[in-house]
């Protein structure tokens, strides 16, 4: 029989509703009965004991809020009666780096088929990049995209163009607006584009952005670091870079950032400066020729076996719900532990969504200096937000709150589960690169796309992205695998969701079983055996983070 309620941690004084519960209904948990004071929607929580104003709300074993008014046992917690609260944290001399390494026997000796790069890294894909140093070059990238993509076989499917053609025919035959809106358009199966000229190149990606000039010099430096992260990324075979010439984000800064990440960088890199070349037509002609030449070189790469230790998985969540922290997030947390146990790397980011669990993560840092850096980045970031009238407590979105994440600390405690239980080997500031195996903390905002963009720049060659509400987020060069926290979402949005972890909520699968299933899936995706939804749809989200306040 499916459970109706769940207490996440033995110290919690709130209980999660796993299904819709009615007022005056009595539910049992671990021998204790609760009579509900009101209707409780699935994913929301009720208190396990009478609380007075000022009493602590404990979930995941940590402080996640304070009662603002009395709440009777069995009463719903909401934004009306609970406010965000989280414990402060300190740097302790004692490190808590002992962890129960999971059994990795099933995966020992397993490999994935990847693209081996000269610096020893291994890509899960093989893309050519076209990058502007400044937003002034975005239009030229649009021209290059129109010139190259479709004829080389990288265009998207034509089924929606086919539907538009049907509407044109209806209009030309005199149909009214009402008749057109009611028309039953034929949704043909995806029509394949022409065969790729370069079968070993997964695509040409155009990283347009709105930066490079007009901001601070720090913005320009960070942008160059981010772009260097993509150029040196193992999923990238080479790049064509367009520079205007006078912008803040100078080519020399980009070259310095590339050298930081790969001292012996040897991929094909073609940098073209418009103010030196002169005529726009000459710039575009040179860009087309160099890109085509780069594709010829990139096509020489082949997938070859690589150990799982060459995987670097980014951990992300977006459109989270009240189930995310008890199904999808801990499931990929177990996947993270498996990969760390195999010598691989994982990246946990979104610092505003670590508010309230800082002490645990700080204690898990392998060295005091690493813990100090984490503390500095967290406190500085929150102070900047407070200075402009915001703060980490304002992180939950309306969708989060509607689906049970009523305080930032509740959201954070569940979000942190993505990082598993292994020691923190390093703490990185945006947009630094991962250089150590194990669990890495990366300072990014909670914004889905900004954070995913940053994780890939830091070296993630696969991203696991959990969601409870649904999101299409992807990335230009790294596969972003979408995981649903609940089965209803998976069934509703299967065209953009890849994996269902609602099986955990329904008692059909343990967190450990789901975590192993996810790693099996990752290996197939990394080997090019499966095409995930974000790649299939061409969901190439790319947003650099300007170091102002973005939660």
DSSP string, 521-534: HHHHHHTTS---HH
Q: In what order do the strands lie in the sheet with 45-47?
A: 5-6, 14-17, 45-47
CA angle 29, 500, 305 (to 5 degrees): 130
- CATH numeric code, 5-84: 2.30.130.110
Q: The tokens of 120 are what?
A: 């020893």
Q: What share of the chain is helix, strand, coil (3-state, %, to 5)?
A: 35, 20, 45
pLDDT attached to residue 111: 98
Q: In terms of pTM, does the model score above 0.85?
A: yes
Closest by CA position to 339, among listed 107, 42, 13, 47: 107
Q: Matching CATH topology for 5-84 and 123-155+194-304?
A: no
Closest by CA position to 439, among listed 520, 360, 494: 360
Task: Label residue 410 exposed, middle or buried (CB < 10 Å: 0-12, 13-18, 19+).
Answer: buried
What is 123-155+194-304's CATH topology? Rossmann fold (3.40.50)
CA 247 to chain CA centroid, Å, is 30
Q: What is residue 427's three-state secondary structure? A: strand
DSSP string, 104-166: -GGGTT-EEEEEE-TTS-EESS-EEEEEESSGGGHHHHHHHHHHHTTTTT-PPPSHHHHHHHH
Cα–Cα dist 399/495, whole Å: 21
Phi, psi of 105 (to 5 degrees): -55, -40
Radius of gyration of the chain (CA): 25
Buried b (16+ CB within 10 A) or exposed e, 230-266: bbbbbbbbbbbbbbbeebbbbbebbbebbeebbeeee
DSSP string, 65-82: EEESS-B-TTPBP-TTTE
* Size of the chain in residues: 551
Residue 518: which H helix or E strand, with range? helix 511-526
Q: What is the pLDDT along the chain (551 residues), one digit of tens a residue?
A: 578 999 999 999 999 999 999 999 999 999 999 999 999 999 999 999 999 999 999 999 999 999 999 999 999 999 999 999 988 999 999 999 999 999 999 999 999 999 999 999 999 999 999 999 999 999 999 999 999 998 999 987 667 778 888 889 989 999 899 888 888 887 655 444 458 999 999 999 999 999 999 888 999 999 999 999 999 999 999 999 999 999 999 999 999 999 999 999 999 999 999 999 999 999 999 999 999 999 999 999 999 999 999 999 999 999 999 999 999 999 999 999 999 999 999 999 999 999 999 999 999 999 999 999 999 999 999 898 888 888 787 777 888 888 888 998 999 999 999 999 999 999 999 999 999 999 999 999 999 999 999 999 999 999 999 999 999 999 999 999 999 999 999 999 999 999 999 999 999 999 999 999 999 999 999 999 999 999 999 999 999 998 766 65
Query: Domain map of the chain by residue range?
Result: 5-84, 123-155+194-304, 306-532
Q: The tokens of 246 are what?
A: 């006078």
pLDDT attached to residue 20: 96
Non-local CB neighbours of 154 within 8 Å, separated by 6+ positions: 148, 193, 196, 203, 204
Buried b (16+ CB within 10 A) or exposed e, 150-176: eebbbeebeeeeeeeeeeeeeeeeeee
Q: Are 313 and 336 in contact (CB under 8 A)?
A: yes
């Amino acid at each position: 029989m499916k459970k109706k309620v769940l207490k996440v941690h033995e110290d919690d004084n709130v209980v999660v509703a796993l299904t819709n519960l009615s007022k005056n209904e009595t539910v049992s948990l671990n021998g204790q009965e609760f009579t509900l004071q009101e209707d409780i929607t699935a994913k929301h929580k009720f208190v396990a004991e009478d609380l007075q104003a000022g009493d602590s709300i404990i979930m995941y074993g940590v402080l996640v809020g304070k009662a603002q008014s009395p709440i009777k046992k069995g009463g719903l917690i909401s934004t009306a009666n609970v406010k965000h609260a989280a414990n402060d944290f300190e740097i302790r001399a004692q490190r808590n780096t002992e962890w129960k390494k999971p059994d990795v026997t099933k995966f020992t000796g397993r490999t994935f088929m990847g693209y081996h790069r000269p610096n020893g890294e291994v890509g899960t894909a093989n893309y050519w990049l076209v990058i502007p140093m400044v937003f002034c070059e975005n239009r030229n990238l649009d021209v290059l995209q129109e010139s190259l993509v479709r004829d080389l076989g990288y265009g998207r499917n034509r089924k929606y163009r086919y539907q538009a053609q049907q509407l044109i025919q209806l209009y030309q035959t005199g149909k009214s607006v009402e008749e057109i809106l009611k028309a039953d358009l034929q949704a043909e199966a995806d029509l394949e584009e022409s065969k790729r000229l370069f079968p070993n190149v997964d695509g040409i990606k155009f990283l347009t952005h709105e930066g490079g000039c007009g901001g601070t010099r720090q913005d320009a430096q960070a942008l160059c670091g981010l772009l260097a992260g993509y150029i040196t990324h193992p999923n990238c075979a080479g790049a064509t870079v367009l520079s205007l010439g006078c912008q803040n984000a100078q080519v020399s800064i980009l070259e310095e950032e590339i050298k930081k990440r790969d001292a012996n960088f040897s991929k094909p890199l073609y940098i073209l400066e418009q103010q030196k070349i002169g005529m726009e037509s000459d710039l575009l002609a040179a860009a087309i020729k160099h890109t085509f030449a780069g594709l010829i070189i990139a096509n020489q790469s082949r997938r070859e076996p690589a150990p799982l230790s060459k995987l670097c998985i980014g951990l992300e969540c977006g459109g989270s719900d009240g189930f995310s922290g008890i199904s999808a997030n801990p499931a990929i947390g177990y996947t993270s532990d498996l990969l760390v146990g195999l010598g691989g790397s994982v990246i946990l980011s979104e610092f505003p969504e670590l508010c309230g669990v800082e002490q645990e993560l700080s204690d898990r840092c392998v060295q005091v200096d690493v813990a100090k850096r984490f503390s500095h980045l967290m406190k500085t970031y929150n102070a900047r937000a407070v200075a402009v009238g915001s703060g980490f407590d304002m992180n939950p979105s309306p969708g989060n709150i509607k689906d049970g994440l009523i305080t930032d600390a509740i959201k954070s405690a569940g979000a942190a589960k993505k990082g598993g239980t292994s020691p923190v080997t390093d703490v990185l500031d945006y947009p630094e690169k991962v250089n150590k195996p194990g669990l890495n903390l990366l300072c990014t905002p909670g914004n889905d796309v900004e954070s995913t963009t940053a994780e890939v720049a830091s070296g993630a060659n696969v991203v696991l992205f959990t969601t409870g509400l649904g999101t299409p987020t992807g990335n230009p060069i790294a596969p972003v695998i979408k995981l649903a926290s609940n089965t209803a979402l998976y069934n509703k949005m299967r065209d953009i969701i890849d994996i269902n972890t609602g099986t955990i909520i329904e008692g059909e699968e343990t967190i450990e079983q789901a975590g192993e299933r996810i790693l099996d899936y990752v290996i197939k995706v990394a080997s090019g055996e499966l095409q995930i939804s974000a790649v299939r749809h061409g969901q190439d989200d790319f947003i650099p983070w300007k170091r102002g306040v973005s939660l």
